[in-house]
Structure 1
Amino acid sequence: MPYTGKVAVGGPPDVHELTDLVISKVAVGPMENNAYLLRCRATGEQLMIDAANEPDTLLSLIGEDGIGAVVTTHRHGDHWQALDTVVQATDARTYAGRYDAEGIPVPTDVPLEDGDAVTVGRITLTARHLRGHTPGSIALVYDDPHGHPHLFTGDCLFPGGVGNTHGDAEAFTALLNDVEAKLFGELPDETWVYPGHGADTTLGAERPHLAEWRERGW
């Protein structure tokens, strides 16, 4: 079945088969978070993005091969409820944005700055620091040499807008500025976006609405 990015809590993962990388997306409750498992085809090494909840679901997805790392996109509790259990079971290294690490109760082995590389096997992801939703939110970019980029945005970008800044005008401006400059300003329309909740999108689908988002203020 072709990948759609549509998953439901309690349902099966959706699997995006790329030339060098396999991306499995699963939804976990109770806040319908997305968790992503990335597998390097060449080496079999695996990395998880956001061990959000339901550790049994995530460990089943990981399987017997284990994982080398878990990246937490930001400090909000719904994105790390299963982190301790997954790390204890797999001995994975933990990664998070430097300015959010103190808000995550599981110690961060590798604090990430803007532009830092995160590797899984022969695959390299690039961290982008996006201020506003939290002080240290990060997105991860996989620039596929065989196709378009793939972008994991946590809660910083969704279909229809940027992440929640709870009515804080300064935080909203910072987030939209960073998203415009570091994501829309550097990546093509074909870039596939994998958010922290809900359905996927592309930068091309969202780009025409940037001015509208800025005007509405959320």
Structure 2
Amino acid sequence: MRQMPPEPEIELLTTTGTFSLDGGTWEVENNVWIIANDQDAVVIDPAHDARAVATAVGDRELRAIICTHAHDDHVGAAPELAALTGAPILLHPDDLPLWKQTHPGDHPDEDLRDGQRITVGGIYLHVRHTPGHSPGGVSIYVPALEAVFTGDTLFQGGPGATGRSFSDFPTIIDSIRDRLLTLPPETTVHPGHGATTTIGAEAPQLAEWIARGR
């Protein structure tokens, strides 16, 4: 009997660089998430250092480069990683205006759509459109791993920032309430920056977030 490959696991690579928007630039540390077994992988948000991400993937086949949104710290290294690995870049089309600020002469390979399913290592990654931090922000829910990758939509302690161009606070609250907090409470939240949390830990704070945003 042929042995089945192991179920994918979650790997974390942390990279550092800058985030620029609306005339300002800030130093940032990003979480690059890799979902992989010993054969296949997908990368979520290849931040800052394409070669470091490619090294972390190793000799596994990179099936997709998933961008949760198009701020430059999350997509800056995507074209180089695609060139190194041959993997397609996936981005929600509502974030193309942001993408073009960083990569005016380039274009993602495929659109991400709400409800889309992506496979890696025999498990499904479910795309949930969660706008607010940006128009085309998405979260990637992986039921088999009891995990959701939220980009900059939901962090430990609250929503992502909405004080810059292309963002909107009521929209991000709607996304979190309707698309994320409806997930099982034990679901681990893997954000684009900082520590992990769970849906169960964040859900009780919704009313406080709304009050703070008024």
Partner of 2:74: 79
Amino acid at match of 1:194: H
Find the aligned partners of 2:192 and 2:158 in 1 and give their Cα distance.
Answer: 13
Residues 1:131 and 2:118 aligned together: no
Mapping for residues 170-189 of structure 1, pairs under 5 Å:
171-185=168-182, 187-189=183-185
Structure 1 residues 109-128: aligned runs within 5 Å: 109-128=109-128
CA offset at residue 94 of structure 1? 1.2
Matched residue SS, 1:68 = strand
Q: Which residue of 1 aligns with 2:14?
A: 27
Identity %: 35
Letter in 1 for 2:82: V
SS in 2 for 1:26: strand
Give the conservation status (yes or no) of the 8 Å contact 1:23–1:38.
yes
Counterparts of 2:91 and 2:82 in 1: how far apart (Å)? 14
Distance 2:120 2:108 in 1: 17
Richer in helix (by share): 2
Which of 187, 199, 208 is 2:195 aligned to?
199
Which residue of 2 is the match for residue 100 of structure 1?
95
Match of 2:73, SS state, is helix
Q: What is the identity, as a one-letter code, of the residue corresponding to 2:69?
A: H
Q: 1:214 to 1:20 in 2, by over 3 A?
A: same
- Alignment-derived partner of residue 3 in structure 2: none
Does residue 154 of structure 1 match 2:151?
yes
Gaps of 5+ in 2: 1-5, 18-27
Equivalent residues in 2 for 1:10-89, closer than 5 Å: 20-30=7-17, 31-40=28-37, 44-89=39-84
Q: Which runs of 4+ in 1 moved over 6 A?
A: none
After superposition, the CA RMSD in angstroms is 1.8
CA distance in 2, matches of 1:114, 1:33: 24
C-alpha displacement of 1:208:
1.0
Deviations for 1:168-208, whole angstroms, at most 9, x for unmatched residues? Answer: 9x8111111111111112x1110000000011000111111
The CA distance in 2 between the partners of 1:211 and 1:125, in whole Å, is: 29
Within 2, Cα distance between the matches of 1:132 and 1:58? 27
In 1: Cα distance, 2:154 partner to 2:68 partner: 12
Q: TM-score, normalised by structure 1?
A: 0.83
Q: Give the letter aligned to residue 61 of structure 1.
A: A
Q: Specify every segment of 5 or more residues in structure 1 that has no aligned partner in the other structure, as ranges.
A: 1-18
How many residues are matched? 193
Equivalent residue letter for 2:54: L
> 2:8, 2:120 within 8 Å by CA — same for their partners in 1?
no
Which amino acid is 1:150 matched to?
Answer: A
CA contact (8 A) 1:95 1:110 kept: yes
Length-normalised TM-score, structure 2: 0.85
Tell me the distance in 1 between the aligned counterparts of 2:133 and 2:156.
16
**Equivalent residue, structure 2, for 1:14:** none
